[in-house]
Every structure is written in structure tokens, then in C-alpha cells.
Amino acid sequence: MRKLVIFAVLFLALSRSSGFSQEFTNASDSLKDKALNDALRCIKMTRMDLTFRNDYLDIDPFRLQKIDQLMRNPLEISFFSEEMGSSLGKDRVSPPGLLEKGFRYIVSRSRKTHSGKEFEFKEEFRLQSEDRLFIKKNLKKIDKLPDKLREAVSYIYLGLLKADSSWHEAFKELSPKELDSLKNYFPFIILEDEKDEFKSVEELDKQQKYEEALTKGLIPLAEKFKLEKAYPGNALLCSAVQKAEESLQEYLSSSPKIKTGKNDILLSLETSQGGILIGGFGSSVYKGSPGIIIDLGGDDQYNLTSSNHSTVTLDLGGNDTYKAEGNYTLGSGFFETGILIDKSGDDTYIGRNFSLGSGLFGVGILIDEEGNDRYFGDTFVEGAGGFGVGILSDVSGADQYNGALYAQGFGFVSGFGALVDSSGNDSYYAGGKYKDILRYKDHYISLSQGFAYGIRPIMSGGFGFLSDFSGNDLYVTDIFGQGSSYWWGLGSLLDFSGNDKYISYQYAQGTATHMTLGLLLDKAGDDDYISHGVSQGCGHDLACGILEDQAGNDNYLSFDLSQGAGSANGIGILIDYSGDDSYLVTLKSNTQGYGNPRRDYGSIGLFLDLSGRDKYLGNGEDSTWWTTPSMWGAGIDGEFKAGSK
């Protein structure tokens, strides 16, 4: 009887205006907003109560302003992430557009790193008369090339000079010795060792203390790096690459007949920016670390190594194989810029570490426009950024993504990492190599698929986005992944349509742990969510995790601390808008609208199903509301209608 009385009062109460944000105020009559308001009233709260301060600890030098803002207003992460995901999709084949999205929120920190003036994101490459004279003097050998081909080479070469000049400015405050320390030790603290599982507790403890001391020593060096100074030259390079693509398309439209030499090479030239290679329409093999590769077509083999200069590779067609002969190659920016664009064909990319759209103190962009492609990498791959930008954009085809760690839309400290897949039935797998030895004997860390990560408690994290726009997709991680984060970052996985399956073991599917934010947003399709625990809309330790499914007949399965669960002053929210759904949990005591009472004022857990005929094995029941044995937890299953009170 008590349930029915309170339920009636709940739905008759007038909505309170929170003034929480402009976006949510304007949409206050939406189903989501109404349901949230009702659920919060059920636990005697308003949206104003869903907030975190940014001063629990001293603000480290790498805290990003946007992350601070979103921590104060965690309900905004859905709007912000969807807007970011959509804009990345619109710019999916535009190097300048992708670069701008990556830089926009990572150059502005909570501690000012530049003059504070509005950052200008408008840089366009224009070939000046002095540039033509420079090319004529320094690249005499390209005079014999057809006009449009010569123009493309000129654009890219001059753009590379601009980018490397900007990187010089960004690192200007560092001595050569300090720069070497960053190059040597940051990869060291990022990479894992498979042999760690065989080390004793004492060895692991000693290793951890050494790495902590090393990391602290790198902070003052990383502070000297001025990422904002790298943008102008990189924007010019991206603009130059885009213009080069246009010139090459004009060249191909003339149906040229060319004469190539050995290995189907039209031009081979050494320059201050590395080699320049132009391949014909046949099959070519490329080796080493050329600064510029332009391949006109054919099934090609790339066996590439890292370089000490920025690089651009443009392949215009064919079923190609790209193989990294070491780390830091194939669309990799390691203290520089690496751009790889493949226009068509069913391609295979075999990377190692820091590869396939990876930027560490650099910019790495990989764009594949057509074909059923396969991507293989180890650590910090497939759209991973730290102190820079790493983006992988695949436009069409049924693609396979395989990574071990920090992959598939990963944002490290002061970084932006994104994987954007525009269409096709795709599969994403991350994990299976580095064991989670501190917690389990039989599980592996992933930290991938829209994941952000900071080094607790001294370096805040960045932005990690995975945006998939269509297709029936499969996502698999093990420990940490799928729209989740750790320590002052935002990890978001956005799937816009398709019948998808999400599989993970723990810390996944819209989960945030330790003062951070995580979101899994699925906009349409009949989806399956499978996990063990600390997942499916879970926030732990002053963090907010949200799982939001907007349409479809969905199935949710978990063991514990999931499906709208808050822990240790965290906020966990699960919202399902529509469809006939099923929810299954093993432990009823801390799931489906649970906020545990730990640490003074407890936690918040909200479970909301807004419509449909739903089935429950756990706390819930169709067309009712419930509370759990917790401090601030509630679940509502109702038939919400827009505009109703």
C-alpha cells in the first residue's frame, strides 16, 4: 500500500526547475528529464545534488577545464558526448576537422598554460609564391611530375615543415636531455610486461614504487611541454593533406598513363623530411621510414619503421597490408605527427605499440575510407592520445579491431583519443594479453573502447571516445572498458544504431571509478549487455557512470554492483527509454537502483525504465517503483509520456 501511495504522489508532484544547465533546462519536458526528476524526488533530491567538487585534492597541472565542468554537472556528459560523437562523424574524412575536435578541449587546463585568449581553430594552407620558389630550389626532381601530382607533393612537403616547426615550438622550453627523458620514460610507465604475472609480491611492490617516483619526476618536464603551440603547424599540415587529396583526385580523373621503374616506383627522392616515394598503379613494397608516400593504386605492402620526423602516407586504392616493423609507426605521432590515409580496398593493419592513430606528445591520424578492414595492435593503439591527439576513422565496411591495452578510443593524460566507425557490422576486441594480477588470476586488463585514464593521484586523465554509427556490432573487453574511466577523465562509447552486443567482466559499460566520468550511450537497436559487476551504470568513489539506451528490446545481465549502482560517494545511473526489456542480476542487495551508505553521506543509484513491458530477475517489477537496502537508491519502471506531469 505504501508503494502505491508514494507512487501516486510522485507522479502528481509538480516538476521543479533545477537551472542545472542550459541544455537540460531547454529539454525539461523530455522523457529522460521527467524520469530523472521523479526518481530524484523519490529520494528527496534534485539535480543540483548530482555534483562533485573539484577540490577534494590539489588540482594537478594536467586537469582539463572541460572535465572539471562536467564533474560539477555530470548529467551533461550524455549531451556533450553525443555532440562530440556526431561532430567526429561529420568530419570522418577531414584531417583538419578531426584535428580541431581533438585539440579543442585538451589545450585548456584548470591551471592556465597559455595566455588565456580564445584559442583560434582556423588554419588553412595556402601555397604562396615564396613556397613555389622554395620547392623549385629544394625539390628539383619533382619538376618532371605531372602538374597535379607535383602539386600534391608540394602541399604535403611544405605542410610537414610547418608541423615540425610547431613541434619545435611546443618543446622549446625543454633541454635535449629533458626531451630525451620524456621520450624514454613515458612509454616505459605506459607499457606493461607480460612477465609481471610471474613476479613475487615484493618484486611488484618494488617496481611500483620505482615507477611512482619516476612518474613524479616527469611532471615538471611534462609541464614545460606546450601543446597549444603545436596546433597551428599541425592544422596547416592537415589542410595541406586535404588539398593534396583534392589534387590527386583531379590527377586520377584524367586517367593518366605513367611509366614506373623497379618496384612500380614513379619517384624516389631523399629530403630533409625523409624520403619521398610515389608508387604507380601496380603492387609496390615500401620499407623504412619515408616522410611522404603517395601510392596511386594496387595491392601494396608497407613494412615501416619509426622516424624522427613527421610523416604522411596516402594510398589511393588496392587491398593493402600495413605492417609495423617497430613501435611508433602507421599513423603514429610520437613527439611529431603521423598521418595515414587509405582511400579504398580491404586492408590489413598490423601495428605494435603506439600505432594506428596514436598520438603521444604528438598527433596520429589514420583514416580508412572504404573496405572491410582488419586492425591489430598491442598497447596505445587504434585511436589513443596522451599529451596529444590520436584518431582512427573508418568510414565503411565490416571491420575488425583487435588491441591488447589502451586501445579503441583511449584518452590518457592531457590527451584525446577517438575511434570513429561510420558503418558496417564491426567487432571490437581488447584485452587477452596483460593479466590483472592484483585482482584475478584469469582476467586481463583492457582499459579500452571509449576509456579515459589518469595516473592517480598526480596526473588527471583525458578524453576517450568510441563512436560507431551503424551496424550490428560486437564489443568485448575484460577489465575496464566500454564507456568507462579512471581518475579525472571522460570515457564514452556511443553506438548510434544496430543490434549490438556488449560483453565485459568488470568496470565497464558506463562505469566510472575514482573521481571521473563514464558513459555508454546506445541510441537504437535490440542490444545485449553482459557483465559480471561494477558495470552497467555504476559510479565508484566520487565518480559518475551512466548507461543510457534510447530504443530497442534489450537484455541486461550482471552479477552485482550494477544496473544503476553508486558506491563510495559515487553516482550510478541506468536509463532505458523504450522497448520490452529484460533485466537479470544475481545479487539483489546492491543492484538496480542501489546507493551504498559508505563514507558519511553515502552514494546515489538510479534505475529508470521509461516504457515497455519488461521482465525482471532482481529488485524490479514492471510498472512499479522500488527501493533497495541502501541510502540513496531507487528504481522506477513506468510508462512515461512527453509533456506529462
pLDDT exceeds 80 at position 123 = no
**Residue 308: all three cell numbers together:** 624522427
Stated pTM of the model: 0.94
Which carries the bigger pLDDT value, residue 93 or residue 5? 93
Give per-residue pLDDT as tens, 512-559: 999 999 999 999 999 999 999 999 999 999 999 999 999 999 999 999
Cβ 608 vs Cβ 564: under 8 Å: yes
Amino acid (one-letter) located at 166:
S
Helix (H, G, I), strand (E, B) or coil at 245: helix
pLDDT, residue 268, reads 96
Local structure of 295: helix, strand or coil:
strand
Q: What Cα–Cα distance (Å) separates residue 130 from each residue in 152, 332, 631?
A: 17, 30, 70
How large is the average pLDDT for residues 234-257? Answer: 96
- Cβ atoms of 541 and 517 within 8 Å: the answer is no
CA atoms within 13 A on the CB side of 499: 5
Q: What is the pLDDT of residue 2?
A: 27
DSSP 119: P
pLDDT digits (tens, 9 = 90+) for 105-122: 999 876 654 444 545 666
262-279 pLDDT, tens digit each: 889 999 999 989 999 999
Hey, what's the cell of 80? Answer: 556533450
pLDDT, tens digit, for every residue of 154-205? Answer: 999 999 999 999 999 999 999 999 999 999 999 999 999 999 999 999 999 9
- The larger pLDDT score, comparing residue 132 to residue 297, is at 297
Which H helix or E strand runs over 237? helix 231-253
pLDDT class for 20, splitting at 50, 70, 90?
very low
Structure confidence at residue 4 (pLDDT):
26
Q: Which amino acid is at 120?
A: E
Say which residues have a Cβ less than 8 Å from residue 25's Cβ, sequence separation at least 6.
17, 18, 19
Tell me the C-alpha distance between 638 and 42, whole Å: 14
Q: Is the peptide bond before 457 cis (omega within 30 degrees of 0)?
A: yes
Contact (CB, 8 A) for 516 and 452? yes
Q: What pLDDT, on the 0 to 100 scale, is given for residue 19?
A: 27
Residue 630 pLDDT class (50, 70, 90 cuts): confident
Average pLDDT value for residue range 238-250: 98
Q: What is the DSSP letter of 33?
A: H
- Model confidence pLDDT, tens digit, residues 73-106: 999 999 999 999 999 999 999 999 999 999 999 9
Higher local confidence (pLDDT), 19 or 144: 144
Mean pLDDT of the chain: 92
Amino acid at 442: D
